[in-house]
């Protein structure tokens, strides 16, 4: 349709002597018949007039398809204007008249060889717009000639035609070799041809994300950068967008590209400027921060962004939405440009609100005085929405810049004195947050707040005021009267206010029990007996039982110390921010949503990521078998996200959509989308291509699996696994149901041809009572904004599990949980998303079981069994380290044949033998053997020499390493001697620790 409109506009330039409006005004009867006669006239002028009338009728929606053969006959002309009009008609009606359209093919072929390049280009452009399968095969030859035409205008038009043809029939384009020709056009001497070739290839690559079409290498990039300086503005945008998809080899190449793209920042077209900013923002990730050029680049990025804000409001808004993303990623770019974001009196509201948001993001100790003066001014404006946001902004500044808190509180008090209702209410809401951030500092203002109690009519403001009264009840003499005044209309209040009022009165009762007994009974009865809100009823019952059974515990729970609130709660989640930075200058950067969220049926939308910084370095990931000896160092707590080799923030939380069989295992790891086996190490080091996700649902049972469990690691055969998993997708919760806890017993009968998998015969005994350590606190609430995680590891029925208790000790609800592991010694990785299906409310705990597999990326850790974990929720991303017992990795088929054991023991060098002693162990040799078998440490033989039992044992780790053991047990002697032999000697001390843990517990 657009092509059609473009051509209609182009035709105006040939200009008739009179206006074209007359073609739209005819009302004659038998109009089609008359037009038919005129179209077949011998006079050229009459023909042209008739075609114009036909186009006019078509434009206003009349059906003139009956004239198809007559219009097509007019194609045989040298007149360019007439030819354009006929082609316009053809494009519109070819789809409804495909058989008739074939008549025009010969003319296309002929026009593609016309001496006039405009006609050749017009023919090839129209061919691409006629979306009729029958015709496409006839167009291949003409298109091939036009792609190699001597005139660049024809070549650039043909390049776009390939993309259109690919959309109609992709197979045909590939078979005819047009894609290779397109790639050759990237080396064309004409910059516009290069730009169109890039645009066409990008379009095709977008619909086929896995076809490695845009094979970008330093030579190609050099050609694109050369063409960049000479092509039109849209050509420049195509090339810049293509450059943004390239990942440079090192920081030198990155700097070289940045230097050549920087001049585009001064372009007059704002789209070119934003595309250049996108390229620079991405490539800056690879530049070391101590580089002089890095500082220069930061300075160069500010002026073009500032210039964008002098355009009309709509453009300003787009620029501001993009700047909002840039400021979150690199605030230093615009830290000295605060004044540009000050609001002008005539700015539309959408620009004002966006500027306000950026002002707060840029607020710092250096400019806070300026910002507060501005915000105070805004709070006296007439626009209610803007005033509300300005008051909230003052509160956010107080929380963000500690030195300004006092000034912010006095500004808010001044605003409360204005007695403007909505200003007062917003001020109270933000003062509540300031109290949370700075306890015992500004409580002197409570008296002023209480004076305005009667004027509060908005639920959020009422709830904030009630919280303040309840929290500081001991400082407010008439707290009971104030709260009682709210109780009168309890059932008319919103849920938010009711819940807050219930908690506040319970707090008051715990602080002043003698005076408020009637009040607390009244509110508990209102909440539990008269309310039909389940949340309110539940909270009421919990308080009632707590107060009646254990007032001390009630005090500890209700009056517990609250964690401080975080500074920036509205920042975009880091992974999403990275993706949006890669989409600067597109709709995604205006909506602040990834394209997949709003492009319906988006064809293979790729999730883009920023490349990893060079500062994090690249590490080899040696196999544990050949690694050096391990020290006894305690687990290192992760200091900062920059030190992590795997990008622990790279949490992709979209569910998978494919349903094919699982891809072969490799070392890549992508969390959230069950995307666990593809991608290689590149995906961790910033490669943008995403591996295909593993299906969440298997249509055909391939091996018995627990519900919600990723396909088993490929190291084991189905027979080996089958014996221990005793369940199938048909049993239990199923794939669509919420995850149940792992069943304690797996003895359910399995039907559907899987019975034979469970008939293992001798070799492997069913693991009974495997030892798992008690839970310990891995992540204290103080370090995670109120989220406490305690946990342990267990191996149940052949599956390694991470069993965690998540506790919310913050005041806000926690949602959107996800988890990811850094690379580790044995490739441990989550086998599925972290299943926390309901929001985690304040003071609530939830038990979560996360199945693990061992197909993640491998890197030797210090100590060997150290695991670095990132957990994300709606508040932030948190990091912790924990150690897993090596016994979790002992597989069920670790029992060696006697002869093999003997040969292997002799084969392993004596230097690899390590001897340990287990003290205070009072088990018989048989009891010890049974206990160890529960943890997959198998006794192969036992012999008694001089009253001493000697047990010969074997175990096998998930990565295929065998450990052989000889354990000596003497009746009456509580000291056992264990000798361990293994080709990877550094594993021995951790295996010994597992022996000790299993036997002593």
Domain boundaries, the chain: 458-561, 776-884, 890-1000
**Arithmetic mean of pLDDT, 21-41:** 67
Contact by Cβ (8 Å): 166, 173: yes
Distance CA 169, CA 213 (A): 17
Beta-carbon-side half-sphere exposure of residue 886 (alpha carbons within 13 Å)? 24
What are the tens digits of pLDDT across the range 553-593? 888 888 888 777 766 666 788 888 888 988 898 899 999 98
Identify the top-confidence range among 202-216, 511-525, 658-672: 511-525
Contact by Cβ (8 Å): 536, 502: yes
**Arithmetic mean of pLDDT, 171-182:** 84
Identify the top-confidence range among 252-256, 483-487, 498-502, 698-702: 498-502
CB atoms within 10 A of CB 1000: 14
Identify the top-confidence range among 95-99, 137-141, 208-212, 536-540: 536-540
Statement: residue 277 has pLDDT above 80: yes
Distance separating the N- and C-terminal Cα atoms of the chain: 76
DSSP secondary structure, 375-409, as one string: HHHHTTSS-HHHHHHHHHHHHHHHHH-GGGHHHHH
pLDDT at 20: 64
Question: 483 pLDDT band (50/70/90 cuts)?
Answer: confident
Identify the top-confidence range among 210-214, 469-473, 510-514, 775-779: 775-779
Distance CA 595, CA 241 (A): 15
pLDDT at 829: 92
Statement: residue 674 has pLDDT above 60: no
- In three-state secondary structure terms, 697 is coil
Residue 345 has what DSSP assignment? Answer: T
Distance set, CA 817 to CA 838, 840, 874, 878 (Å)? 10, 10, 7, 11
Residue with the bigger pLDDT between 807 and 248: it is 807
Contact by Cβ (8 Å): 861, 673: no
819: phi then psi, degrees, rounded to nearest 5: -140, 150
Please state which of the ranges 64-73, 306-315, 809-818, 819-828 shows the lowest mean pLDDT.
64-73
- Full-prediction pTM beyond 0.75? no
pLDDT at 963: 93
Structure tokens at 930: 């049974």
What are the tens digits of pLDDT across the range 839-871? 888 888 999 999 999 988 988 888 889 999 999
pLDDT at 792: 94
pLDDT at 803: 93
For the four alpha carbons of 754, 757, 761 and 764, in that order, the dihedral sign comes to negative
Statement: residue 706 has pLDDT above 50: no
Residue with the bigger pLDDT between 209 and 132: it is 132
Distance CA 552, CA 734 (A): 43
The mean pLDDT value of the chain amounts to 77
Q: Which of 775, 771, 783, 742 is nearest to 845 (CA)?
A: 775
Please state which of the ranges 326-330, 757-761, 932-936 shows the lowest mean pLDDT.
757-761
Structure tokens at 875: 């508040």
Collect all residues with Cβ–Cβ distance below 8 Å to 480 and sequence separation of at least 6.
508, 512, 515, 516, 519
Statement: residue 667 has pLDDT above 50: no
Question: 490 pLDDT band (50/70/90 cuts)?
Answer: confident
pLDDT at 702: 35
> Could you tell me the strand order of the sheet in which 913-918 lies?
913-918, 976-982, 962-970, 948-956, 938-945
Distance set, CA 551 to CA 72, 505, 506, 509, 548 (Å)? 93, 15, 11, 11, 7
**Arithmetic mean of pLDDT, 681-686:** 33
CA of residue 364 relative to chain centroid, distance: 29
What are the tens digits of pLDDT across the range 608-653? 777 765 443 333 333 333 333 333 333 434 333 333 333 333 434 4
Longest dimension (CA), the chain: 124
Question: 276 pLDDT band (50/70/90 cuts)?
Answer: very high
- In three-state secondary structure terms, 872 is strand
pLDDT at 955: 92
Beta-carbon-side half-sphere exposure of residue 619 (alpha carbons within 13 Å)? 18
- C-alpha angle 250-253-256 in degrees, rounded to nearest 5: 150
Which residue stretches of 792-924 are H helix?
A: 898-907
Question: 741 pLDDT band (50/70/90 cuts)?
Answer: very low
pLDDT at 630: 36
In what helix (H) or strand (E) does residue 955 lie, and over which residues does it extend?
A: strand 948-956
Residue with the bigger pLDDT between 131 and 297: it is 297
What are the tens digits of pLDDT across the range 422-480? 888 888 888 888 888 888 788 788 888 888 877 888 889 889 988 988 888 888 888 88
783-807: string of b/e by CB count within 10 Å (b at 16+)?
ebbbbbbbbbbbbbbbbbbbbbbbb
292-313: string of b/e by CB count within 10 Å (b at 16+)?
eeeeebbebbbebbbbbbeeee
What are the tens digits of pLDDT across the range 961-996? 899 999 998 888 888 899 999 988 888 888 988 898
Phi and psi based region of residue 314 (left: phi greater than 0; alpha: psi -120 to 50; beta: remaining) = alpha
**Arithmetic mean of pLDDT, 707-716:** 37
Distance CA 282, CA 325 (A): 13
CATH number corresponding to 890-1000: 3.30.310.10
Statement: residue 168 has pLDDT above 90: no
35: phi then psi, degrees, rounded to nearest 5: -60, -40
**Arithmetic mean of pLDDT, 942-969:** 89
- Asked, as a colleague might, if the bond just before 863 is cis with ω within 30 of 0, I would say yes
Residue 184 has what DSSP assignment? Answer: H
CB atoms within 10 A of CB 915: 11
Contact by Cβ (8 Å): 162, 147: yes
Q: Select from 3.40.50.970, 2.60.40.1150, 2.60.40.10, 3.10.350.10 the CATH code of 776-884.
A: 2.60.40.1150
pLDDT at 519: 87
**Arithmetic mean of pLDDT, 803-831:** 90
Distance CA 44, CA 830 (A): 75
């Amino acid at each position: 349709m657009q092509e059609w409109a473009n051509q209609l506009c182009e035709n105006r330039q040939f200009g008739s002597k009179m206006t074209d409006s007359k073609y739209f005004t005819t009302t004659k009867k038998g109009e089609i018949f008359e037009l038919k006669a005129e179209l077949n006239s011998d006079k050229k002028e009459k023909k042209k007039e008739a075609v114009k009338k036909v186009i006019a009728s078509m434009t206003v929606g009349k059906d003139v398809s009956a004239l198809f053969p007559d219009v097509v006959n007019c194609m045989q002309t040298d007149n360019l204007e007439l030819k354009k009009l006929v082609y316009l008609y053809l494009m519109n009606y070819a789809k409804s008249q495909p058989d008739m359209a074939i008549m025009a093919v010969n003319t296309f072929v002929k026009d593609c060889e016309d001496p006039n390049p405009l006609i050749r280009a017009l023919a090839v452009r129209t061919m691409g717009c006629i979306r009729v399968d029958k015709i496409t095969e006839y167009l291949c030859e003409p298109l091939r000639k036009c792609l190699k035409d001597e005139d660049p205008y024809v070549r650039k038009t043909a390049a776009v035609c390939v993309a259109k043809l690919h959309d109609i029939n992709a197979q045909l384009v590939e078979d005819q070799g047009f894609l290779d020709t397109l790639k050759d056009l990237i080396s064309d001497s004409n910059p516009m041809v290069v730009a169109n070739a890039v645009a066409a290839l990008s379009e095709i690559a977008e619909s086929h994300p896995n076809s490695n079409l845009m094979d970008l290498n330093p030579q190609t990039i050099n050609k694109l950068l050369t063409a960049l300086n000479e092509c039109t503005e849209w050509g420049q945008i195509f090339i810049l967008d293509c450059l943004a998809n390239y990942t440079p080899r090192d920081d030198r190449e990155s700097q070289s590209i940045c230097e050549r793209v920087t001049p585009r920042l001064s372009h007059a077209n704002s789209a070119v400027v934003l595309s250049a900013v996108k390229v620079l923002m991405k490539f800056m990730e690879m530049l070391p921060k101590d580089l002089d050029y890095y500082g220069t680049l930061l300075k160069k990025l500010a002026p073009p962004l500032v210039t964008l804000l002098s355009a009309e409001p709509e453009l300003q808004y787009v620029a501001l939405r993009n700047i909002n993303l840039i400021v979150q990623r690199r605030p230093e770019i615009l830290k000295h440009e605060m004044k540009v974001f000050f609001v002008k009196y005539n700015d539309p509201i959408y620009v004002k609100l966006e500027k306000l948001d950026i002002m707060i993001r840029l607020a710092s100790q250096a400019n806070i005085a300026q910002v507060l003066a501005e915000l105070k001014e805004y709070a006296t404006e007439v626009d209610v929405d803007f005033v509300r946001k300005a008051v909230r902004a003052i509160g956010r500044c107080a929380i963000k810049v500690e030195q300004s808190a006092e000034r912010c509180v006095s500004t808010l008090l001044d605003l409360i004195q204005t007695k403007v209702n909505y200003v007062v209410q917003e001020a109270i809401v933000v003062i509540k947050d300031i109290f949370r951030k700075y306890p015992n500092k500004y409580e002197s203002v409570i008296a002023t707040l209480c004076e305005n109690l009667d004027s509060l009519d908005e639920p959020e403001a009422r709830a904030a005021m009630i919280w303040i009264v309840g929290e500081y009840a001991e400082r407010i003499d008439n707290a009971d009267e104030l709260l009682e005044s709210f109780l009168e209309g309890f059932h008319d209040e919103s849920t938010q206010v009711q819940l807050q009022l219930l908690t506040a009165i319970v707090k008051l009762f715990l602080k002043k029990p003698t005076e408020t007994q009637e009040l607390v009974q009244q509110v508990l009865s209102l909440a539990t007996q008269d309310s039909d809100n389940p949340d309110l009823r539940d909270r009421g019952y919990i308080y009632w039982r707590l107060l009646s059974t254990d007032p001390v515990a009630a005090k500890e729970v209700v009056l517990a110390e609250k964690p401080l609130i975080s500074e920036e709660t509205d920042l975009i989640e880091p992974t999403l921010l990275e993706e949006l930075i890669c989409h600067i200058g597109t709709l995604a950067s205006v909506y602040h949503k990834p394209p997949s969220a709003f492009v319906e049926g988006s064809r293979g939308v790729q999730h883009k990521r920023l490349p990893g910084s060079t500062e994090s370095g690249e590490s080899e990931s040696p196999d544990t078998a050949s690694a050096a000896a391990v020290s006894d160092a305690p687990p290192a707590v992760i200091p900062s996200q920059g030190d992590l080799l795997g990008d622990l923030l790279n949490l992709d939380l979209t569910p998978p959509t494919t349903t094919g069989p699982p891809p072969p295992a490799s070392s890549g790891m992508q969390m959230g989308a069950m995307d666990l086996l593809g991608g290689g190490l590149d995906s961790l080091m910033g490669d943008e291509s995403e591996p295909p996700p593993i299906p969440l649902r298997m249509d055909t049972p391939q091996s018995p699996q627990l519900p919600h469990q990723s396909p088993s690691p490929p190291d084991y055969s189905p027979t080996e696994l089958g014996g221990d998993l005793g369940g199938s997708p048909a049993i239990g919760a199923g794939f669509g149901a919420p995850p149940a806890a792992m069943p304690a017993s797996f003895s359910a009968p399995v039907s559907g041809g899987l019975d034979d998998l469970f008939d293992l015969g001798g070799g492997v005994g069913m693991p009974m009572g495997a030892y798992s350590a008690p839970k310990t606190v891995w992540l204290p609430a103080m370090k995670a904004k109120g989220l406490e995680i305690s946990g342990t590891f267990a191996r149940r029925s052949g599956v390694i599990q991470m069993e965690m208790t998540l506790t919310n000790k913050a005041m806000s609800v926690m949602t959107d949980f996800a988890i990811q592991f850094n690379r580790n010694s044995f490739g441990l990785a989550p086998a599925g998303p972290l299943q926390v299906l309901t929001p985690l409310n304040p003071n609530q705990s939830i038990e979560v079981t996360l199945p693990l597999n061992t197909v993640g990326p491998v890197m030797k850790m210090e100590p060997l069994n150290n695991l670095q974990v990132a957990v994300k929720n709606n508040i932030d991303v948190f990091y912790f380290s924990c150690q897993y017992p090596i016994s979790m990795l002992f597989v069920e088929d670790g029992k060696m044949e006697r002869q093999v054991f003997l040969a292997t023991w002799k084969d392993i060098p004596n230097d690899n033998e390590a001897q340990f002693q287990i003290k205070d162990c009072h088990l018989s040799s048989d009891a010890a053997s049974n206990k160890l078998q529960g943890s997959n440490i198998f006794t192969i033989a036992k012999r008694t020499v001089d009253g001493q039992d000697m047990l010969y044992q074997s175990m096998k780790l998930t990565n295929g390493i065998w450990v052989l053991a000889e354990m000596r047990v003497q009746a009456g002697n509580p000291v056992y001697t264990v000798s361990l032999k293994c080709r990877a000697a550094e594993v021995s001390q951790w295996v010994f620790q597992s022996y000790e843990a299993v036997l002593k517990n």
